[in-house]
């Protein structure tokens, strides 16, 4: 009988998320990275992931500011009248700037005793609707500047935590194990700041003055299976982590907008899949939208232009402009321009490099100029690498260009460019 009971216990453990999670170091480190990122970005003192077990909740993982020891990892308490439980029940807001002054929060004993000031709590919900627990960050002081973007970021992190925990809890299936490892790898890469964005200036070729910047993604440290930003984007979409890279990208956009002149725009590379899954308008106000350009590559597959145009409609109405990247590299870019009617189309660098001495490239440029003008689209030259190509492009009617890192703009007024 004892052996039979032991066997049942082992079987139960194999399918118990809590048991699987216990001691799963790579997952724990990744989740702690999410908590640290949320806590520090929002200037909170404590971040934790709780798990619900009957009437109790356990603080599964805790990240605290130095010297702060309010919540201990592994501790348990009755969850019936916790602020997080009220959030799960819909009796309290997920974002509270000051719990001491908010009805539905300030009557709780724990809120009074800690005391709790700023508080954001988001339920961690599995795909079948099961509530695992909560992703929570809080401080003993109020933070009035918390806003919808603060909550949106925590919701993204809670969604990632949910996906990771659910994936790992489904072990020992090989496919699930592989996906869990990949999700952990990608999440760590993003939360540890290994994806950077280098600004590349866009120049008015008539004056030499800077018009804006494009944020070029680079990896400071590749992994065994992810060696480039393109591969990272592919994995992010495949693994269902689009919101995580969306937060990573939009934070850099907002930061760049705040440090560049108001007349400059900021261009970023966006895939159709990311546009479908991440709500950029939730993060950008009206003034920001007017200075943002979304770039879709010729290499980005579009399964339905009808669906993509529907997604783009509110985005473009907000003032965000559209550019097609790698124009001239293939037929897809022509289709993108024809179907999406972008404000800009950026020539493929392979077309501009050496164009001053290549008649085939020159003929292609003239055809693209006629086509783009008919569509009301401005052509942008990418990868200008010498003064002969620069002069040829300018005299051909190209007014905006982006330079190869090996060559500095030689046009009059180029010294007035700024950088970030």
Do residues 306 and 341 both lie within one domain?
Answer: yes
The whole-angstrom separation of Cα 166 and Cα 92 is: 26
For 125-164, write each residue's pLDDT tens digit: 988 888 999 999 999 999 999 999 999 999 999 999 998 8
Q: What is the pTM of this model?
A: 0.70
Do residues 267 and 410 both lie within one domain?
Answer: yes
Do residues 150 and 202 both lie within one domain?
Answer: no
**Do β-strands 292-297 and 321-327 pair in parallel, antiparallel, or remain unpaired?**
parallel
Do residues 295 and 394 both lie within one domain?
Answer: yes
pLDDT at 128: 83
Final residue before a domain boundary, out of 153, 181, 209 = 181
Do residues 173 and 197 both lie within one domain?
Answer: no
Nearest to 50, CA basis, from 122, 135, 113 = 135
Domain hosting residue 121, numbered range: 2-181
pLDDT at 229: 81
Does residue 85 sit within a domain?
yes
For 179, the enclosing helix (H) or strand (E) is: helix 174-191
Structural domain count, the chain: 2
Domain of residue 307, CATH code: 3.20.20.450
For 362-416, write each residue's pLDDT tens digit: 999 999 999 999 999 999 999 898 999 999 999 999 999 999 876 666 555 443 3
Do residues 245 and 361 both lie within one domain?
Answer: yes
- Nearest 5°: phi and psi at 267? -105, 140
Do residues 356 and 408 both lie within one domain?
Answer: yes
For 321-378, write each residue's pLDDT tens digit: 999 998 877 777 788 898 999 999 999 888 898 999 999 899 999 999 999 999 999 9
- Mean confidence (pLDDT) of the chain: 85
Residue 175 pLDDT more than 50? Answer: no
Do residues 128 and 8 both lie within one domain?
Answer: yes
For 183-226, write each residue's pLDDT tens digit: 788 888 888 888 889 899 999 999 999 999 999 988 888 776 67
Do residues 269 and 133 both lie within one domain?
Answer: no
Do residues 274 and 333 both lie within one domain?
Answer: yes
Residue 117 pLDDT more than 60? Answer: yes
| Cβ-defined contacts of 72-80 (< 8 Å, 24+) | 73/48, 79/50, 79/52, 79/55, 80/55
Does residue 187 sit within a domain?
no
pLDDT at 418: 40
Final residue before a domain boundary, out of 181, 201, 236 = 181
- Residue 14: band (very low, low, confident or very high) from pLDDT cuts 50, 70, 90: very low
The whole-angstrom separation of Cα 103 and Cα 107 is: 7
Do residues 301 and 399 both lie within one domain?
Answer: yes
For 263-293, write each residue's pLDDT tens digit: 999 999 998 888 998 999 999 999 999 999 9
Do residues 164 and 313 both lie within one domain?
Answer: no
- Residue 174: band (very low, low, confident or very high) from pLDDT cuts 50, 70, 90: very low
pLDDT at 222: 73
Does residue 188 sit within a domain?
no
- Residue 11: band (very low, low, confident or very high) from pLDDT cuts 50, 70, 90: very low
Does residue 186 sit within a domain?
no
Does residue 240 sit within a domain?
yes
Nearest to 194, CA basis, from 248, 259, 268, 150 = 248
Final residue before a domain boundary, out of 181, 211, 238 = 181
For 85-108, write each residue's pLDDT tens digit: 999 999 999 999 999 999 989 999
Nearest to 342, CA basis, from 304, 299, 308 = 308
For 31-82, write each residue's pLDDT tens digit: 999 999 999 999 999 999 998 888 888 899 999 999 999 998 888 888 877 8
Which residues on neighbouring strands pair with residue 201, listed in sequence order?
A: 213
Domain of residue 24, CATH code: 3.30.450.40
pLDDT at 348: 87
């Amino acid at each position: 009988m004892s052996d039979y009971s032991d066997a049942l216990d082992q079987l139960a453990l194999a399918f118990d998320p809590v048991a699987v999670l216990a001691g799963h170091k790579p997952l724990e480190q990744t989740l702690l990275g999410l908590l640290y990122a949320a806590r520090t970005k929002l200037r909170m003192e404590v971040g934790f992931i709780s798990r619900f077990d009957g009437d109790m909740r356990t603080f599964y993982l805790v990240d605290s500011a130095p010297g702060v020891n309010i919540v201990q990892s592994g501790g348990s308490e009755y969850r019936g009248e916790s602020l997080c439980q009220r959030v799960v029940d819909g009796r309290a807001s997920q974002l509270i700037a000051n719990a001491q002054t908010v009805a539905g929060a300030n009557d709780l004993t724990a809120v009074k005793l800690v005391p709790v000031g700023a508080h954001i709590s988001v339920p961690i919900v599995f795909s079948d609707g099961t509530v695992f627990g909560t992703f929570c960050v809080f401080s003993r002081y109020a933070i009035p500047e918390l806003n919808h973007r603060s909550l949106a970021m925590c919701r993204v992190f809670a969604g990632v935590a949910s996906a990771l925990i659910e994936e790992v809890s489904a072990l020992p299936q090989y496919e699930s194990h592989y996906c869990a490892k990949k999700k952990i790898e990608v999440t760590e890469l993003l939360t540890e700041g290994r994806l950077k964005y280098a600004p590349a200036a866009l120049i008015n070729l008539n004056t030499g003055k800077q018009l804006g910047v494009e944020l070029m993604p680079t990896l400071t440290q590749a992994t065994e299976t992810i060696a480039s930003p393109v591969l990272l984007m592919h994995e992010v979409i495949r693994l269902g982590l689009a919101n995580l890279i969306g937060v990573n990208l939009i934070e850099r956009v907002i930061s760049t907008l705040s440090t560049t002149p108001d007349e400059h725009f900021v261009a970023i590379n966006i895939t159709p899949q990311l546009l479908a899954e991440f709500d950029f308008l939730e993060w950008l106000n009206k003034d920001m939208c007017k200075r943002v350009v979304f770039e879709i590559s010729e290499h980005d597959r579009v399964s339905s232009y009808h669906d993509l145009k529907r997604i783009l409609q509110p985005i473009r109405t907000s003032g965000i402009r559209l550019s097609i990247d790698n124009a001239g590299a293939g037929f897809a870019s022509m289709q993108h321009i024809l179907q999406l009617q972008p404000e800009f189309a950026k020539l493929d660098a392979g077309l501009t490099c050496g164009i001053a001495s290549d008649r085939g490239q020159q003929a292609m440029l003239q055809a693209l100029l006629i086509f783009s003008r008919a569509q009301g689209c401005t052509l942008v030259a990418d990868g200008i690498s010498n003064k002969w190509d620069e002069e040829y492009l300018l005299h051909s009617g190209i007014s905006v260009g982006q330079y190869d890192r090996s060559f500095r703009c030689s046009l009059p007024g180029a010294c007035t460019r700024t950088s970030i």
